[in-house]
């Protein structure tokens, strides 16, 4: 006898203040593996329903007009953090909820016209299923830490002058890594980091811990192109070494982090007698994504050989597995994030289960693990 346990289906709230609400619901109803539990029409009603019903995913349209979308997202995260998918017009280049990284909040351009949606219902439900797997508890702890950090200290409430930037201690992890790097021959090395859902927050933490003498780092993060520029600028402000958005033809230099633009693949190339360079191109989707970690790792393995270190973090799918295989084949090293610290245990799981990870580490040991291999 078959028993269907409907409570195991992802529970979805769909919020839209216009007639498009029915269009969105109809599109989602084509997928019987999700369960729509509420369809609020206003931002305040949405907030109330999220707190009371605790859905797995909240789908909100930018057509909600009674509150700024970013403000609504912030209020929801402070009350009851939840994975959120924002549906917006195709010409809307803003990334809503950017404070929570590409992981807990996702954006999808749909284009509402004449009660139709400009993308397939499958595109929306695919994003919903990914978001439903996000480890929200992990984000909750980070949000709580951020809220505690935002509270004014007793000294500031009593009127004491805050310390100048030059007086504030630097990241202790960065200081420790400086000492480790002092005895390390890091030249002619390269590190490639790959991530998807949940990656931006983790990458931010890792980049903050980098010492000012380090081999070049290439970051392949699955995220929309419109979000890469602001993400890169934020990383650069927090890092002792330079963080740039990768450009076609760039020479790969020491003490520099290169972030791959969205919508383009990145390969490492080297002509005889020249320094390694970055090659960006459109190309076909690989592992259903662009950029693909696999392409970057495979090309870098050909150029750097045993001097390549690959890192696979959190994310949906298996992108990075075949590249990790090539890195190991030429004598390079592969590091994978552990399950416990993963927002989604997917990309790293694929590498670990295939036997292509030389070591599995928690988030706070990744940088020291890279240095140990250097």
Catalytic, out of 196, 239, 299, 318: 196
If you ran DSSP here, which 8-state letter would residue 336 be given? E
Enter the tokens of residue 240: 């002792």
Distance CA 57, CA 11 (A): 7
**Could you give the angle at which helices 69-79 and 43-53 cross, rounded to 10 degrees?**
20
48 is catalytic: no
Catalytic, out of 299, 319, 341, 342: 319
Helices in the chain by DSSP H: which ranges? 20-29, 43-53, 69-79, 101-104, 121-132, 136-150, 154-157, 172-181, 199-208, 225-238, 293-304, 321-329, 347-353, 366-373
Query: In the block, which residue shows the tokens 């590249």?
Result: 323
153 is catalytic: no
What stretch of H or E contains 312? strand 308-312
3-class SS of residue 60: strand
What stretch of H or E contains 192? strand 190-195
Distance CA 189, CA 335 (A): 15
Enter the tokens of residue 55: 């859905």
Catalytic, out of 98, 106, 222, 342: 222
66 is catalytic: no
Q: Which of 298, 338, 304, 337 is nearest to 320 (CA)?
A: 298
Contacts of 44 (CB under 8 A, 6+ apart): 66, 67
Beta-bridge mates of residue 311: 193, 335
Burial of 172 (0-12, 13-18, 19+ CB in 10 A): exposed
3-class SS of residue 245: strand
Residues known to be catalytic: 196, 222, 319
């Amino acid at each position: 006898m078959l028993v269907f346990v409907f409570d195991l289906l992802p529970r979805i709230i769909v919020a839209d203040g216009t007639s498009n609400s029915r269009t969105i619901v109809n599109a989602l109803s084509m997928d019987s593996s999700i369960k729509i539990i509420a369809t609020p029409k206003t931002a305040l009603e949405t907030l109330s329903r999220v707190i009371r019903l605790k859905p797995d995913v909240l789908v909100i349209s930018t057509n909600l007009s009674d509150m700024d979308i970013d403000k609504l997202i912030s209020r929801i995260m402070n009350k009851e953090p939840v994975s959120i998918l924002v549906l917006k017009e195709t010409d809307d280049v803003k990334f809503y909820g950017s404070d929570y990284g590409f992981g807990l909040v996702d954006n999808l351009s749909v284009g509402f016209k004449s009660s139709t949606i400009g993308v397939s219902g499958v595109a929306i439900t695919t994003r919903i299923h990914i978001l439903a797997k996000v480890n929200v508890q992990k984000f909750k702890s980070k949000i709580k830490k951020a809220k505690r950090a935002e509270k004014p200290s007793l000294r500031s409430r009593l009127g004491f002058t805050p310390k100048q930037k030059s007086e504030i201690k630097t990241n202790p992890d960065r200081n420790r890594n400086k000492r480790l790097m002092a005895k390390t021959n890091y030249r002619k090395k390269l590190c490639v980091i790959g991530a998807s859902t949940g990656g931006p927050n983790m990458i931010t933490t890792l980049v903050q811990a980098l010492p000012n003498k380090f081999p070049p780092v290439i970051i392949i993060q699955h995220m929309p192109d419109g979000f890469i520029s602001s993400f890169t600028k934020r990383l650069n402000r927090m890092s002792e070494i330079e963080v740039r958005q990768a450009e076609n033809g760039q020479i790969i230099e020491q003490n520099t982090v290169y972030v791959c633009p969205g919508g383009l693949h990145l390969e490492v190339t080297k002509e005889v007698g020249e320094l390694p360079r970055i090659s960006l191109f459109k190309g076909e989707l690989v592992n259903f994504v662009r950029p693909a970690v696999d392409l970057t790792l495979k090309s870098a393995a050909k150029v750097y050989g045993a001097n390549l270190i690959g890192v696979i973090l959190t994310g949906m799918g298996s992108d990075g597995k075949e590249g990790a295989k090539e890195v190991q084949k030429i004598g390079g090293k592969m590091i994978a994030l552990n399950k416990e610290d993963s927002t989604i245990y997917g990309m790293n799981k694929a590498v670990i289960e295939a036997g292509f990870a030389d070591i599995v580490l928690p988030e706070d040991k990744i940088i020291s693990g890279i240095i140990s291999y250097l």
